[in-house]
Structure 1
Amino acid sequence: MDNLTWTGALGTILDPILFAVAGFFIVLVAAQVVLSFFATPVTLQSNPDGTLQRQGGVLGTVSTLNKWLLLALICIAVTYIVAGMVMPYGSAGIVGAMAKQFTPVWIALVATYVLSITFKRKLGLYGKLFDSTIGMIGFGLVMFWVYTAIFGAALEWIPTHEPLSQVSGLKNKVPGTAVPGAEVWGPGAHYLLGGDNLARDVFSRMIYGSGIVVLIAPMATLFAFMVGITLGLPAAYFGGRLDAVLSFIANLVLAFPVILLFYLLVTPEITETGLPQYMATVLFFFPLVFFGVLIHSRYKTQPQQNYIRLAVVLIPLFLIYASAINANASKIDFWPLDFFDIAPGILVVFVSVVFVNSPTVFRIVRGLALDIKTRDYVAAAQTRGETPWYIMLWEILPNARGPLIVDFCLRIGYTTILLGTLGFFGLGLPPDSPDWGSTINEGRKLMIAYIHPALPPAFALLTLVLGLNLLADGLREESLKD
């Protein structure tokens, strides 16, 4: 069976066009940077008929050409993807084969954009995101990896091999290498992105790794926000000794070296003491407190509705909480209805990330609440006789949602980088884990000779974090317009 090239038969037509357009684009971008220091800046001039005309001489012309060349590059990339989806396997090379594997992701992305743009005026801040080009690009990058995690890591529709499966003879083989003994010409017949130092498929491991990152990073950030909000609001609202004590604890945690903390938590001696489980017992309890107080403060004047809502929300949360902290043959093994077990390595990483991020969220929430609590609508709520927790959760918190949503997106990006760092140092997750940090660490050892095992997970990590940052920028732009 023959190996695949990068673009196959499609490349004989599109590759020369791609290289020519990319070359012109790079040259003109460099020219635009140089001209920006000397040429007249681009301006808009009003015509007598009320229309606007761009004025900028050579710089304006170069800027316009760059936009058209960028559009041409996007069109060429879309052509590669669409052709890869419709052409027979292998005809469009490695790029086409990967595009075909990502078919569920493309369909989900198109459906998401069509529905979101159609109903954006009814979707609040999320809908306004589609008025921002930066926000739309960031949203697309993030959702690409979210859908990849769903269809790839969870449903296993995208990977071509198991993450731990090894094929003899494919150790450190280049992308597109045929699998020895493969009888069917189709997915699984090649290592699309090559083999790593243990003869495992780099493409499949990258897909499975997305599931780990997309699951842990948002969940850990969400837990950190619940801890920070639950403690930050009363610290700002009540002030005094409570504020001083909580602020001191937050500063104490922030002053502790992060990497040293992770090294301590993953050492066998510390793990055997059950410290990560004890930390999880405390940190995982905050969602119950948050939702319990949130519901009770809102519906306490309606006892029947209050009890029903509390039961519907808190009972499932408690069952999840008990299962999360409980583990067989561990320091905390008391719960008979153990619906699931969290792997010790993942628990350590999750707890560590929540513990490190919570103080930062606490300080942000506290700062916002200190400002908002002086507003007139807070004074009006106090005059009505509302309870402090009602004012904090239903008056102050909603009016702080803009900065918090932006910070939430940014913090997911920071957490993603942190997870990659932990995996790179081999902390927490098992050595054979396909998470991107561990994969980069394994690949970088032989980068002088074999560059392909480390690049795909590094590129995946880069695009996800870039998407989160662009998404946060888009949300910030739109929230400032309110």
Structure 2
Amino acid sequence: MELEYLGTSQIVLGVLSRFWPVWLAMAVLFGLSFAFKKRLGLYGQIFDTGVGIAGILILSFWLFTAIFSAAVAPFDPLAQVTMMKDALPGAIEAKSGLAYLFGGDKLARDVFSRMVYGSQIVLIIAPAATGLALMVGATLGLPSGYYGGRIDSILSFLANLVLAFPVLLLFYLLVTPGIRETPVPQWLVGIFFMFPIIFFLTLFYTRFKDRSDRHYLLIGLTILIGGWIYAGLVFDADPLGIVRINPNRLNIFVAIVLGSWPGVFRIVRGLAMDIKTRDYVAAAQTRGESPWYIMLWEILPNARGPLIVDGCLRVGYITIALGTLGYFGLGVPPESPDWGTAIKDASRMLRSHIHPALPPTIALMSFVLGLNLLADALREQSMKD
């Protein structure tokens, strides 16, 4: 039985129509953003530059694609239809009457649906790993830059020790099966996920220690929610079964955090060494504020500009790292629709079929481009401030 195909214009219209929830959500987002941009602080200022608008346009597209994946994708990303193996773009699947808009791959799966669902993996792991790396780097970088001396020497040595390893080699070592069978990843998980709990406990204690009503409430919520998440991620002991993550993805997550926090540490350390000489820090010291209050409520807020820019760029670096790991077949399951795995699977057939490789490649490239554009816009605004 021969396959029927859509024309080029029909494929384009089909792709555009599949993204209708994304277009609607983007229209609402941009409408509200332009209407209230004067009240939105730094986010609103981004809309004053074309580069910032382009960055948010690209990133919001992939964000809403990840959110509405089930509505956008016409097929299950893992479903195989034998007759659609290596089908060209626009091939119509006889049973459903729907088209494989970007064709089929070597395992007869819909390339378009896999690209759409692949955005979920990138937008979950990369920002979350970046956030945790920022928290670890800031928690260690602040005392290193503020106190100096022996504390600075010890923490800097630890950071330089990690930086001495090539990042991709470090990722490779931590996600290979031999390492996964040892307790090393579990130890790292336990250590890294303690940092958010310690960070927020210290943050709330230093700010509200003289206001018992807020102090006990925030400390209690931090211990309750933090302990719940910690038990689920580290010990797989969430009684509700909500906080769970695939062990392979958790290993990738921890490997990325381990490779990323020293870079954040060095940035925060340098900013702390500079900002601690400012007049408002001296005023806080004169008032008798504790060192951790000064670090978290005086130094860190004034270092947010460079950290936000670095965070955007770091999400891009991590996205590329995820794609690289997927390309080498490490960490994620082989059937995963993540973009790196899709590129790896398609690269073996490039001479005969190029269409399965293009969508995930363009998706990965555009997402990183959006992050770089947003980082440029944020850097421009931070320089004005």
Which TM-score band (shorter chain)? Answer: over 0.9
The residue aligned with 1:190 is 99
What does residue range 403-418 of structure 1 map to in structure 2 within 5 Å?
Answer: 403-418=306-321
Provide structure 1 residue ranges, at least 5 long, that are not aligned to the other structure.
8-92, 328-333
1:141 is the counterpart of 2:58: yes
Provide structure 2 residue ranges, at least 5 long, that are not aligned to the other structure.
none
1:416-456 CA-to-partner distances (Å, cap 9, x unmatched) read 11111111111100011000000000001111110000110
Q: Following the alignment from structure 2 to structure 1, what is the Cα–Cα distance between the partners of residues 226 and 7?
A: 51
RMSD over aligned CA atoms reads: 1.3
CA contact (8 A) 1:262 1:427 kept: no
Q: TM-score, normalised by structure 2?
A: 0.97
Using a 3 Å threshold, how does the CA distance of structure 1 residues 170 and 136 change in structure 2: closer, same or farther? same
1:107-141 CA-to-partner distances (Å, cap 9, x unmatched) read 11111111011111111111100001100100110
Q: From 100, 107, 121, give the equivalent of 2:17.
A: 100
* Runs (4+) off by over 4 Å: 334-338
Higher RCO by CA contacts (8 Å cutoff, separation 6 or greater): 2
Q: TM-score, normalised by structure 1?
A: 0.78
The residue aligned with 1:283 is 192
> If you compute each CA radius of gyration, which structure gives the higher value, 1 or 2?
1
1:236-276 CA-to-partner distances (Å, cap 9, x unmatched) read 11111110000011001011122322232233332222211
What is the SS of the residue equivalent to 2:73? coil
Q: Following the alignment from structure 1 to structure 2, what is the Cα–Cα distance between the partners of residues 268 and 471?
A: 37
Amino acid across the alignment from 1:207? V
Query: CA offset at residue 286 of structure 1?
Result: 0.5
CA contact (8 A) 2:229 2:238 kept: no
Q: Following the alignment from structure 2 to structure 1, what is the Cα–Cα distance between the partners of residues 312 and 233?
A: 25
CA contact (8 A) 1:132 1:478 kept: no
1:450 is the counterpart of 2:348: no
Q: Following the alignment from structure 1 to structure 2, what is the Cα–Cα distance between the partners of residues 143 and 285?
A: 31
1:4 is the counterpart of 2:6: yes
The residue aligned with 1:157 is 71
What does residue range 215-364 of structure 1 map to in structure 2 within 5 Å?
Answer: 215-327=124-236, 339-364=242-267
CA contact (8 A) 1:213 1:416 kept: yes
1:30-50 CA-to-partner distances (Å, cap 9, x unmatched) read xxxxxxxxxxxxxxxxxxxxx
Query: CA offset at residue 335 of structure 1?
Result: 6.4
CA contact (8 A) 1:436 1:457 kept: yes
Q: From 260, 271, 276, give the equivalent of 1:368.
A: 271
Q: Following the alignment from structure 1 to structure 2, what is the Cα–Cα distance between the partners of residues 417 and 461?
A: 8
The residue aligned with 2:115 is 206
Q: Following the alignment from structure 1 to structure 2, what is the Cα–Cα distance between the partners of residues 112 and 426?
A: 37
What does residue range 7-18 of structure 1 map to in structure 2 within 5 Å?
Answer: 7=9
Amino acid across the alignment from 1:419? L
Using a 3 Å threshold, how does the CA distance of structure 1 residues 101 and 338 change in structure 2: closer, same or farther? closer
1:193-246 CA-to-partner distances (Å, cap 9, x unmatched) read 000010000000000100000110000000000000000001111111110000
What is the SS of the residue equivalent to 1:165? coil
Q: Following the alignment from structure 1 to structure 2, what is the Cα–Cα distance between the partners of residues 335 and 165?
A: 31
Query: CA offset at residue 277 of structure 1?
Result: 1.3
What is the SS of the residue equivalent to 1:157? helix
Q: Following the alignment from structure 1 to structure 2, what is the Cα–Cα distance between the partners of residues 477 and 273?
A: 46
Paired residues, number = 383
Q: Following the alignment from structure 2 to structure 1, what is the Cα–Cα distance between the partners of residues 88 and 273?
A: 57
Percent identity among equivalent residues? Answer: 55
Q: Following the alignment from structure 2 to structure 1, what is the Cα–Cα distance between the partners of residues 214 and 174?
A: 43
1:174-193 CA-to-partner distances (Å, cap 9, x unmatched) read 100111333x4xxxx11000
CA contact (8 A) 2:36 2:44 kept: yes
CA contact (8 A) 2:312 2:372 kept: yes
Q: From 87, 92, 100, give the equivalent of 1:173.
A: 87
